[in-house]
Chain A
Amino acid sequence: MKIQINGRWYEAREGEMVLDVLRREGIDVPALCAHEAVEPYGACRLCMVEITHEDWGGWKGNVTSCLYPVEDKLIVQTHTEDIIELRKTVLNLLLARCPNSPEIQKLASEYGIDTTSFVPREDADNCIMCGLCTRVCTQMGFNAISVAGRGYGREIATPLKEAPPDCVGCLACVKICPTHHIQYEDIGTTREIWGRQFELVKCKQCGKALITREFADYLIENRDIPADYFDICDDCKRSGTARDFKKLVHWEEKEEAEEEVSA
């Protein structure tokens, strides 16, 4: 099927969301809570676009592109006056929530907002409540963290705000966080995240810290990975392969040389 975006026609596939097409085609629409690893959520509202269709009798609507499924001949406008004003308002609000976040500052300034018109949050941190961390945690199968509370007091929390029993220290939440708010620390062979400490598995050859024991055990048990997979780190595995390959090559050279001699 084809959809029209800002006057040009693009190919789209059944089951895709409008944002998928926008991203594939490199059309600049901001989105802070959408990530290909997780289901769309519709929390940040930045990816809103205007849609219409020739069969809709002139009806137009503003929808979140991350959640709106494509349909043939859908007509999308990504930068109407109202949409731009909405993004400005959202960024203005996010800047009040996270005044110190470089990512939010940068995005807001792209939309011409350098200081917020609203009251900045006291004791502000850089969490924009996009929920990517909790959703990826669920997607990984752990459900170690979740959303707690509601409204302005909503927060990302561990059960009973204690060290989360179901966390395996995989860092999926850290890596997906768009504002780099979630912190962790690796000291020697110990990793600390969400107030819990994990022992790191060391490479048997070079001694480098690899992965938490809990995450390794989980993957071995659930993802069809050989039990000794995490004994040696990727670097050592690579150099091991190179060494074996070298031996093989040298062995061939040696045979050739012997053949020449015998000839």
Chain B
Amino acid sequence: MKIDSPDKLNAWKEECLQKDAKLKKKVMVCFGPGCLAAGCREIYAKFEEILAERKLGDITLESFKKTGCHGLCEKGPLVVIEPEGIFYNRVRTSQVKDIVEKTLAKGEIIERLLYKNPKTKERVLKYHDIDFYKKQTRLALRNLGHIDPDNIEDYVMRDGYQSVAKVLTGMTPEEVIDEVKLSGIRGRGGGGFPAGRKWATCRGVESDVRYVICNGDEGDPGAFMDRSIMEGDPHSVLEGMIVASYAVGARDAYIYVREEYPLAVQHLYQAIDDAKEHGFLGENIMGTDFSLDIHISRGGGAFVCGESSALMKSVAGEVGEPRAKYIHSVVKGLWDKPTVLNNVETFANIPLIMNKGGDWFRSIGTEKSTGTKAFSLVGKVENTGLIEVPMGTTLREIIYDIGGGIKDGRKFKAVQTGGPSGGCLPEDKLDLPVDFDTLTKAGSMMGSGGMIVMDDHTCMVDVAKYFLKFLVDESCGKDVPCREGLYQLHKMVVKVTEGKASEADLQLMEHLSKYIIMGSLCGLGKSGPNPFLSTVRYFRDEYLAHIIDKKCPGGVCRDLIRFEINDKCTGCTACIAPCPVDAITGEKDKIHILDQEKCTKCGACYAVCQFDAIDII
């Protein structure tokens, strides 16, 4: 069925809504990355198995939906029962039968499957009432968890493709660009460049061909915002791209998605097929003379290919290496044609801006950073997962209110934002509002939205070492400061963790960092020294402790710590077996002895001791 007019779209939406209303209950099984890892496929299969044997009145297999990420990945696999919004977490296959028999058949609540508030220890029935969700504003993630990403009807039901109808039949490209400019939306990929200005420049360049590209090459360790959107709501990305292509005058658009996101690739292909079938892509969209094809270009997983110029080379089939951008890619991009490149989250916001208006969008967030931002909140917080908050929300609100505070009651030490080349912020920066400019000023950056929380058992030098190693491995190696400079910087950080560095080394590292930033060709090198610079800026004492006192305050760097058994030891012998080098000896009920000569400082004993009897010194 081709939808070639706004009326037809509305009629179809109505039809989908009626069909949906017939479903008395909907069981949303989360198929996000976290829940997939936790075994949601088995949960779903179990539901199918039970439903095949047992009739449940109105509830049929149609009521069961495989949705995108619900966000609270920490507690997966998740099952949400609508319309009530009953939220079951950490569901095991053995409990599926109970859900069917009790909740679905009789409407009984299974207490032990409900979310437990980590502070009050109380069970929470509905997901709207969980702090994690209450404090969020979900725009880009609006459909995640509520629709089956492979079902275009689910999307249409929730105002899907309305902006395409509105824009194509009632707005000029200039009006679209003005609306995007009015919204103030800045690129969500990290750079924070105003999208409206980018589109306007591209449209203004004289050319017969223009391109739109969606950057789905999310490569930051621990980040999965774009992945979740592509997997859980692929049509919203397509819809944003259709609007953008109409605005700048593109006939072909590309989605560059990493091959490591197989589910995203699969869902995007499905979405493109469905969109084509219904006339949202292809020739004469909405009965107008606007035509567009969206192609998928799969990346090989090089981090640097997330950089716009390297990405365009990769799409064109060349080696993914950045080039100097003295001539911007909006003027000379893919195949030397004017090209607009935005990331997944930016495109996912566009339909909302078109439907509700730029004024509405800019009423959310701060003056210079409008709207919301999705983050993947990971590390040592109670509630890890995918979140979305208005710009200007403080780090403290994100970590403590949404994240539920630091895991196991430990103390907060730092939060790393902006991906590997972002920076680490200490406790006294927790009240900073999260927006593009504030984070940059504080020595970190927004990046694409990774947020890693660290507790007091973290060594900041070790953190710098980890992220630098990532960047050393992912630098394409084209220019000298990035290739050789980051390598040498990493070597020197390693030297610090080994207690072999001097204060002169620290100075050399700072000097080298300055010139890596000044001399590097692309953003990777220009922000490459950030892991070192931001940790040395806020945690200089910790570097000095390694250098002068030869101590690691975080108790992490093996060359600078030793394990000792104290008098809390009850002689339980639990630590003897895990020690791989037989360094611990002792009899039952007597304080054990640790042979420092043999000890490899692996920490196995520390991990198993129940009595705090092992000190890291």
Q: Which residues of A contact B (CB under 8 A)?
A: 41-45, 48, 62-64, 67-69, 82, 85-86, 89-90, 93-94, 96-97, 117-119, 128-129, 131, 146-147, 149-154
Chain B contact residue count (CB 8 A cutoff): 32
30 A–B contacts, CB within 8 A, in A order: A42-B323, A42-B478, A44-B479, A45-B521, A67-B326, A69-B326, A69-B327, A85-B515, A86-B515, A86-B519, A89-B511, A89-B512, A90-B481, A90-B519, A93-B488, A96-B488, A97-B484, A119-B488, A146-B319, A147-B477, A149-B477, A150-B302, A150-B473, A150-B474, A151-B472, A151-B483, A151-B487, A152-B472, A152-B475, A154-B476
A42 lies within 8 A of B521 (CB):
yes
Inter-chain pairs besides A152-B472, A154-B483, 19 sampled, C-beta below 8 Å:
A42-B324, A43-B521, A44-B480, A67-B324, A69-B326, A86-B519, A89-B512, A90-B519, A93-B484, A93-B485, A96-B484, A119-B488, A128-B480, A129-B480, A149-B477, A150-B474, A150-B476, A151-B483, A152-B487
A129 lies within 8 A of B477 (CB):
yes
A146 to chain B, nearest CB (A): 7
A43 contacts which of B326, B472, B475, B480 (Cβ < 8 Å)?
Answer: B480
> Given A45-B521, A62-B518, A96-B488: A68 and B475 within 8 A (CB)?
no
- B171 CB–A CB distance under 8 Å: no
A89 lies within 8 A of B491 (CB):
no
> Given A45-B519, A64-B324, A86-B515: A151 and B480 within 8 A (CB)?
no
Q: Which residues of B contact A (CB under 8 A)?
A: 302, 304, 319, 323-324, 326-327, 472-481, 483-485, 487-488, 491, 508, 511-512, 515-516, 518-521
> Given A42-B324, A68-B326: A147 and B319 within 8 A (CB)?
yes
Give Cα A152 to B485, complex, Å: 10
Using CB atoms, name the residue of chain A closest to B485: A93
Contacts of B474 in A (CB 8 A): 150-151
A93 lies within 8 A of B476 (CB):
no
Contacts of A41 in B (CB 8 A): 478
Contacts of A153 in B (CB 8 A): 477
Contacts of A69 in B (CB 8 A): 326-327
Contacts of B485 in A (CB 8 A): 89, 93
Contacts of A129 in B (CB 8 A): 477, 480, 483
Contacts of B488 in A (CB 8 A): 93, 96, 118-119
Using CB atoms, name the residue of chain A closest to B304: A150
Using CB atoms, name the residue of chain B closest to A89: B515
B475 lies within 8 A of A45 (CB):
no
Give Cα A117 to B508, complex, Å: 8
Contacts of A85 in B (CB 8 A): 515
B108 to chain A, nearest CB (A): 57
A93 lies within 8 A of B477 (CB):
no
Using CB atoms, name the residue of chain B closest to A64: B324
Give Cα A128 to B483, complex, Å: 11
B515 lies within 8 A of A150 (CB):
no
Give Cα A63 to B487, complex, Å: 23
Using CB atoms, name the residue of chain B closest to A42: B324
Using CB atoms, name the residue of chain A closest to B480: A90
> Given A42-B521, A62-B518, A86-B515: A94 and B302 within 8 A (CB)?
no
B324 lies within 8 A of A151 (CB):
no
> Given A150-B475, A151-B475: A93 and B319 within 8 A (CB)?
no
A42 contacts which of B319, B476, B477, B479 (Cβ < 8 Å)?
Answer: B479
Give Cα A48 to B484, complex, Å: 17
